């Protein structure tokens, strides 16, 4: 939610008053801390040199008596010899003291001059600092008015811009509310349409079920009337894969799969991605189970399943591993099962072995035998990929009819399955696809190579043709139709 203009102005006023108060407090604190020029002491008195000259003249106090004869002279000489050592020491002391005083006269004079100069400089520095402090305080007092006059124009413009933004925000809020209301109406309509679609789908499903039931009854009545008029003949021939079904030839197809389809471990690894479609299912039927790779996967996942195959040797291989596998063709087996008895149906590389009439009958029976919601997965070779057709389809003599992905999906949907999609699998490795050529730069080709360089137009044409050929020859080797009852 945007802030109203009046509230914005009040908030800005409060913020400015708080800033002014803090500024004034800081300025007052600075004013009270203003320096005052202290009373500095006067320089000390100069060095007293008045006694230096007299000391230089009077320090020699030792004077020997003049020589004299007689008793008085001898007595004076005796006294002199007695006091002369003491007087000589006093004279030496006086000499040393006078010499020391003479040596320090210059030092005392220089110290006095330095003290006088230092006091003068210190006094000048304090005066300058006090002046700077006073001028700084005056500057801070003046800057408030200066900044205010500069900010007035900007603040006025900011208020105008803020008002315009608030007005725009209010308009956007109103538009947003309007869009929200429209969205709610749209969602309600979509919900209603979805409900109606669900009801329509249910009605179509019921109608489809009725039509399939009528079709089956008509087929039964037609078969019954035909049986009364003609000698009994089988309605459908077993699939052409029966070429290897006799016991004496069955082993040949087992070896054919071992050599050309792949090892059991490889097939199990390739079929493992189908398992999530059967999670939670039971009574799954693997049509054309072959060596039982998918049955092994279902059993390891805890899904109850059984297999079906027409090849006797395949059935024996599965039974030897403890798998539940029946030896029969798909249509004959499904016709003997109750409706709704299967929880899932899987057929990998099977439908291409069936004649079209047999395939249609197989799909119709699969629809009736599966429970509602049960999955159906049909994997087959992709004849739309020329590599798959010429390298795999025509290699197996039991293959009867190549099924285009769109064709098989249509047949599954036409047999009653409401949802069926194509899932492409086993892409051709990139290294086995046709490779495009790189574009040659004219400035990178030497003069000697320029004559043989391929032009950009030719490269683009060649690469476009490569893409078209890859789209037809090197796409996906297999596909699966994934649907549900």
Judging by DSSP bridges, how do beta strands 284-287 and 325-327 pair with one another? Answer: unpaired
Measured in degrees and rounded to the nearest 5, phi and psi for residue 163 equal -65, -40
Same domain, 272 and 400: yes
Q: How many angstroms separate the CA atoms of 434 and 463, rounded? A: 9
Looking at the structure of the chain, the number of domains it has is 2
Q: Is 419 among the domain residues? A: yes
Same domain, 97 and 178: yes
Q: What is the DSSP string of 50-71?
A: TTHHHHHHH-----PPPP--HH
Same domain, 430 and 477: yes
Q: In this structure, which long-range contacts are made by residues 382-385, counting pairs with CB atoms below 8 Å and at least 24 apart in sequence?
A: 382/424, 382/475, 382/476, 382/477, 382/478, 382/479, 384/472, 384/475, 385/428, 385/472, 385/473, 385/474, 385/475, 385/476, 385/477
Label residue 132 exposed, middle or buried (CB < 10 Å: 0-12, 13-18, 19+): exposed
CATH classification of the domain holding 366: 3.40.50.150
Q: Is 189 among the domain residues? A: yes
Same domain, 472 and 370: yes
Cα 171 to chain centroid, rounded: 37
- Please give the angle made by the CA atoms of 188, 194 and 197, to the nearest 5 degrees: 145
Beta bridge partners of 479: 380, 424
Q: How many angstroms separate the CA atoms of 24 and 437, rounded? A: 78
Same domain, 133 and 275: no
Q: Is 351 among the domain residues? A: yes
Same domain, 287 and 373: yes
Contacts of 406 (CB under 8 A, 6+ apart): 422
3-state secondary structure of 284: strand
Q: Is 64 among the domain residues? A: no
Same domain, 112 and 260: no
Same domain, 200 and 253: no
Q: Which tokens hold the place of 255?
A: 């070896």
Nearest CA to 68 among 78, 79, 77? 77
Q: Is 194 among the domain residues? A: yes
Same domain, 198 and 267: no
Q: Is 231 among the domain residues? A: no
Are 344 and 372 in contact by the 8 Å Cβ rule? The answer is: no
Q: What is the pLDDT along the chain (485 residues), one digit of tens a residue?
A: 567 888 888 888 899 888 888 888 888 888 787 777 677 777 777 777 778 888 787 777 777 777 777 888 878 788 878 888 887 788 888 888 888 888 888 888 888 888 888 888 888 888 888 888 788 878 777 777 667 666 666 666 767 777 788 788 888 888 888 888 888 888 888 877 876 776 576 556 556 655 655 666 677 787 777 666 555 444 455 554 455 555 445 555 555 565 556 677 888 888 999 999 999 898 999 999 988 999 999 999 999 999 999 888 889 889 999 999 999 999 999 999 999 999 999 999 899 989 999 999 999 999 999 999 999 999 998 988 887 767 777 777 778 888 999 999 999 998 989 889 999 988 888 887 788 887 544 444 454 455 455 577 788 888 888 887 877 777 898 999 999 98
Torsion sign, CA atoms 298, 304, 310, 311? positive
Q: How many angstroms separate the CA atoms of 455 and 430, rounded? A: 26
* Residue position matching structure tokens 């599966």: 370
Nearest CA to 334 among 386, 305, 369? 369
Query: Residue 334: which domain range?
Result: 240-443+453-484
Q: Is 74 among the domain residues? A: no
* Residue position matching structure tokens 């009337």: 225
3-state secondary structure of 337: coil
Q: Which tokens hold the place of 217?
A: 């009854």
Q: From the CB of residue 31, how many other CB atoms can be counted at a distance below 10 Å?
A: 13
User: Is the pTM here over 0.85, yes or no?
Assistant: no
Q: Is 135 among the domain residues? A: yes
Label residue 200 exposed, middle or buried (CB < 10 Å: 0-12, 13-18, 19+): exposed
Based on its alpha-carbon atoms, the radius of gyration of the chain, rounded to whole angstroms, reads 59
């Amino acid at each position: 939610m945007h802030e109203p203009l009046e509230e914005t102005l009040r908030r800005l006023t409060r913020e400015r008053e708080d800033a002014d108060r803090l500024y004034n407090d800081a300025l007052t604190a600075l004013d009270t801390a203003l320096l005052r020029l202290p009373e500095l002491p006067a320089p000390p008195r100069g060095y007293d040199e008045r006694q230096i000259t007299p000391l230089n003249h009077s320090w020699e106090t030792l004077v020997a008596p003049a020589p004299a004869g007689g008793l008085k002279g001898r007595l004076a000489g005796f006294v002199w010899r007695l006091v002369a050592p003491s007087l000589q020491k006093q004279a030496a002391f006086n000499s040393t003291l006078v010499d020391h005083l003479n040596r320090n006269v210059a030092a005392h004079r220089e110290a006095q001059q330095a003290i006088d100069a230092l006091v003068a400089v210190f006094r000048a520095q304090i005066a300058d600092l006090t002046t700077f402090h006073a001028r700084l305080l005056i500057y801070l007092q003046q800057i408030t008015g200066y900044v205010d006059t500069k900010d007035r124009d900007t603040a006025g413009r900011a208020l105008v811009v803020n008002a315009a933004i608030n007005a725009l925000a209010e308009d956007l809020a109103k538009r947003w509310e309007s869009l929200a209301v429209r969205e709610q109406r749209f969602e309600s309509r979509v919900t209603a349409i979805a409900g109606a679609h669900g009801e329509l789908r249910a009605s179509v499903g019921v109608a489809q079920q009725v039509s399939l039931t009528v079709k089956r009854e008509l087929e039964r009545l037609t078969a019954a009337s035909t049986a009364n008029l003609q000698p009994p003949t089988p309605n459908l021939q077993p699939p052409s894969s029966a070429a290897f079904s006799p016991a004496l030839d069955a082993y040949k197809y087992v070896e054919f799969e071992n050599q050309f389809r792949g090892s059991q471990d490889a097939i199990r690894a390739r079929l493992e991605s189908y398992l999530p479609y059967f999670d939670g299912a039971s009574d799954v039927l693997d049509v054309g189970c072959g060596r039982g790779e998918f049955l092994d996967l279902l059993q390891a996942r805890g899904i109850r399943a059984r297999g079906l195959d027409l090849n006797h040797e395949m059935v024996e291989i599965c039974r030897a591993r403890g798998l539940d596998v029946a030896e029969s063709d798909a249509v004959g087996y499904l016709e003997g099962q109750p409706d709704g008895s299967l929880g899932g149906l899987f057929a990998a590389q099977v439908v291409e072995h069936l004649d079209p009439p047999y395939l249609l009958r197989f799909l119709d029976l699969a629809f009736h035998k599966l429970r509602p919601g049960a999955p159906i997965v049909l994997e087959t070779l992709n004849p739309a990929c020329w590599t798959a057709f010429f390298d795999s389809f025509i290699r197996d003599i039991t293959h009867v009819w190549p099924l285009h992905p769109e064709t098989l999906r249509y047949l599954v949907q036409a047999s009653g399955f409401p949802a069926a999609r194509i899932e492409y699998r086993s892409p051709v490795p990139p290294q086995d696809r046709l490779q495009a050529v790189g574009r040659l730069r004219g400035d990178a080709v030497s003069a000697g190579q320029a004559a043989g360089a391929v032009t950009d137009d030719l490269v683009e044409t060649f690469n476009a043709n490569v893409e078209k050929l890859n789209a037809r020859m090197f796409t996906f080797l297999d596909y699966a139709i994934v649907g549900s009852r």
